[in-house]
A and B are shown apart, each in its own frame.
Chain A
């Protein structure tokens, strides 16, 4: 498809001049069950100085594509045909030894998680310098000096100091800058970015994205940008290819693909991208009635023991840190309250306090009853307040059948008589759109999205008045995320339960929440009604967060 498009608007020489061209490439993996195709008839061209996005969900084959280009395939990989050309040179013909010279020098890679892709026992400086010594034949002193300059270009303020640090002494953003500096160090023709911001916090991700755009302009490098996030990709690339089950289902300019998607799958993906301006939540409760209020709640991790407090009272003040401090929020009946923040902001700490999993200081007021410690939380409260966790793999006991899992709250709280439990479980499964036959299955036989539905069914089985959703969509694929969010809203509409929805996804929360609380470093920095999200009196941090999130480019202007 891409090849055709190109031949249409340029002579064949253009294909040869492009930085990377992949022509009719197929890859399969040899397994016990025979050959499993991973990539089929891939055509992809990256013109010189351009960035092409490759978008797909997990298992789509987008990572296999990166390994194929880098010629770093597992031993069970079988290439069943096609060509991969770097500036017209056929990479498939090169020996592993020749590839060693090309990797890092003519093409390089930026990885998803900088905390695992850097060697933990080697100083950051050496990890940049070694590439320069290897490929540009610099001496150690020259390489370190060059590394300092390279790191400086990524916007690190004191690069010389950073070079002397070990990975664990740097933040996620700093580490990713080191990885990027390494990738750019030898001025390669092509850089593959494999989800470079997925493991980072919102604001850091935004900075890395800006850095990417800046470096791209400065160096005129060609790049392949791999991501699952269509909205994000639309902000950084010139052309985009959508990959699904190893096949490129659509390619084109960003505008084209977004405005006039041809493939069903692309339409589905675009539909799943949360759009902050498209409201999908339940109607706001007519007359606001407070269900739960937390008053100056704080959680201190590593709090001093009684002994410490007795003997070293001055130390005791500084020991440990506040996971959350002085948080006061109220939740109204029937509403969806969004709590947003970056990792470590304390948003999950609040979820744990509400679910009675965490000792706290301060006061919790539920339906007119004051609770001042975790031990004072009784079973009645626990029935009325349910929690759904982030990782569906971890939140279901692997040894219990789905039926047993969902029936447990029914039995524990005596919600329905014994003989009706089975029927009620079937009803609940139906409610979360799973077949009743799933009751006999074990968790590992379900997909991630299905497991999360089971966890949600378990929570609603207790007929709660408040459901705490702790990043319930974060571990799921984009298209599944949208479905789970939609399901939650439907259940809320049917049962009238209130919901505290904790997330880092600002686009999603603006679609769902009536009110939004923003947390930062354990403190509540802002708390506003959804309609006021863009009003001028937003806290600067809240504003920065909202600005950092890429809203996809191709949407029709409203």
Chain B
């Protein structure tokens, strides 16, 4: 992979993030309600409000506010949570770690099952297995997370005979078993949609590759079917699969908002909903920016992986 390619992609990521900071700032400052009044309550004296506004730089022009916000971020300072009176970095940091645990669990499990399943469905086109996966994937894409989550709770977390806890969080370094029990249902909820999507994409990529001229050529060379699939077909359908997975990360980041809320998982999603309800601007800004950054970086990562998988992209 050429350095030029990597640098160009990195520059693009920075560009995207710069625009995101601007969009996030614009949206959050458009939020209704005066932050100072929200903190002090409706009956605060005008003097107190003015003092707090000064402290929060709300009396400055919007570009000065934007400037001080961005320069704060560049110094690792996201401000102070208006409601929790804690540094945003600390609040968001903990939540981010918890969310990452959930998202990573879901993603890893899904990736190692969905890719082989999708490939298998493409190889065994038209069989019961292929149809079953097709049906499952359609259902997966049509069920919103809150429905899946609710149904999973009904089946697996009923108060008397529940197999898994209905919500909450145990850190894996405290009790691995506890973490496992708590992560199953939320991860399964997220996983269902991802699984549906990724396996379907892998299937369609794989079918396309299996119909390509070079696979026909490989078969006409008398290669064994095992080699045709493993050496010729699979690697070539993997690069597009990686692209899809990286796009799905954007979806996953939206999905955790609902899932964390339902399963009382103390992550970014839950924090965001709390912050939205309480107009905690610095927290909203930080969470949104963080999620967008993760998404942009995962896209970058996938571009790099694709370049490694496909020699044609490396020099593009």
Q: Answer whether residue A100 sits at the interface, using C-beta atoms and an 8 A cutoff.
A: yes
Structural contact, A134 and B220, CB atoms closer than 8 A = no
Structural contact, B312 and A168, CB atoms closer than 8 A = yes
Q: Answer whether residue A503 sits at the interface, using C-beta atoms and an 8 A cutoff.
A: no
Residues of B in contact with A, size category: 20 to 34
Chain B residues contacting A121 (CB-CB under 8 Å) are 235-236, 309-312
Among the 9-residue stretches A41-49, A106-114, A325-333, the one with 4 or more Cβ atoms under 8 Å from chain B is A106-114
Within the complex, what minimum Cβ distance (angstroms) separates A121 from chain B?
6
Q: Answer whether residue B34 sits at the interface, using C-beta atoms and an 8 A cutoff.
A: no
Given A100-B222, A130-B227, A134-B227, is A117 in contact with B217 using a C-beta cutoff of 8 Å?
yes
Count of chain A to chain B residue pairs whose CB atoms are closer than 8 Å in the complex: 72
Structural contact, A103 and B221, CB atoms closer than 8 A = yes
In the bound complex, how far is the Cα of B214 from the Cα of A135, in angstroms?
Answer: 19
Chain A residues contacting B232 (CB-CB under 8 Å) are 119, 122
Q: Answer whether residue B8 sits at the interface, using C-beta atoms and an 8 A cutoff.
A: no
Structural contact, B220 and A109, CB atoms closer than 8 A = yes
Structural contact, B223 and A130, CB atoms closer than 8 A = yes
Chain A residues contacting B9 (CB-CB under 8 Å) are none
How many A residues have CB within 8 A of the partner chain?
Answer: 27
Q: For B221, give its contact among A104, A113, A116, A168 (CB under 8 Å).
A: A104
Q: For A103, give its contact among B220, B235, B309, B311 (CB under 8 Å).
A: B220
Structural contact, B236 and A120, CB atoms closer than 8 A = yes
Residue-wise interface mask of B (202-243) relative to A, using a CB-CB cutoff of 8 A (1 in contact, 0 not): 000000000011101111111111010001100110000000
Given A166-B311, A168-B311, is A120 in contact with B214 using a C-beta cutoff of 8 Å?
yes
User: Interface majority SS on B: helix, strand, loop or mixed?
Assistant: helix
Chain A residues contacting B224 (CB-CB under 8 Å) are 100, 134
Within the complex, what minimum Cβ distance (angstroms) separates B231 from chain A?
7
Structural contact, B217 and A118, CB atoms closer than 8 A = yes
In the bound complex, how far is the Cα of B235 from the Cα of A188, in angstroms?
Answer: 29
Q: For A120, give its contact among B218, B225, B312 (CB under 8 Å).
A: B312
Chain A residues contacting B221 (CB-CB under 8 Å) are 103-104, 108, 130-131, 134, 182
Residue-wise interface mask of A (123-155) relative to B, using a CB-CB cutoff of 8 A (1 in contact, 0 not): 000000011001100000000000000000000
Q: For B222, give its contact among A104, A118, A122, A168 (CB under 8 Å).
A: A104
Cβ contacts A to B, 19 pairs, < 8 Å: A70-B220, A72-B216, A100-B225, A102-B222, A103-B220, A103-B222, A104-B220, A104-B222, A104-B223, A108-B221, A109-B217, A111-B217, A116-B214, A119-B218, A120-B310, A130-B231, A134-B222, A134-B227, A182-B221
Using a CB–CB cutoff of 8 Å, the interface residues on chain B facing chain A are 212-214, 216-225, 227, 231-232, 235-236, 309-312
Using a CB–CB cutoff of 8 Å, the interface residues on chain A facing chain B are 70, 72, 100-105, 108-109, 111, 113, 116-122, 130-131, 134-135, 166, 168, 179, 182
